[in-house]
A = this chain, B = another copy of it.
């Protein structure tokens, strides 16, 4: 199982096209075809259906493995690179949209600037997988990721890579809905009551996939998609009745956009969690200082 082949496989699967993958990876279409043939003959399974190009059942399974494997490979390389290079005088922080706006984090950054005035600090916001990947690859020094977790648990999104994590903040979650929604006056409602409601899927802010995971159901099908990352817009959409969305109460309350109701989730006991995670910290590096401050 050559990582090279794995990489083109995930690219092909993502783009749904040999030719497109060839362009992106800088190969010929023919090369891609040969690589996929080689991979399939190595594993003795058909991984892709052609025309249209889509992963088979086995291919889908392989995709689940391929990501973490490639990530770990990158992480190993990045880790060794970090050992060699001199500790940099800059700090690049990656975060998901909802992970920002933490008082604790802003405070720690301020303290860091006081301690190490010379380090240039960069904050880069992106979707969850990109942040995780960036940290594993060493492109980001630390990552701040938010997500839903069971009451006591941590996100444990680091299972796929050799990263360390620490909880930074925790908040209750609530369903955002128009003020005139029939359930708007209730204080708390079991999440299950909303399984068949109209939901907004905002993959980069409040992804329904996570809600499904927490509720252990296949429900919560998207009726509306919001592909941006702006919380204010999302809340406005929910307030206008386009669909429900689940947000941390701390954040939803903060955004004073128009009129909306926020109903706490009574059950299951889920919380919105923010975690800081990072690879092996080099003693004395800005990232290590920041982690110590949180």
Contacts and interface: CB of A to CB of B under 8 A. Distances in A.
Contacts of A1: 3, 73, 76-77
A45 B3 contact: no
Given A1-B3, A3-B3, A73 B83 contact: no
Interface stretch (A59-67, A95-103, A215-223, A264-272): A59-67
A107 interface: no
Given A3-B1, A3-B3, A162-B68, A58 B83 contact: yes
Interface in A83-133: 83-84
Output the residue of A57, A72, A79 with the most chain B CB within 10 A: A72
A159 interface: yes
A64 B162 CA distance: 10
A68 B75 CA distance: 12
B44 A84 contact: yes
Contacts of A159: 159
Contact of A69 (B62, B76, B80, B84): B76
Nearest to A56: B83
B66 A69 contact: no
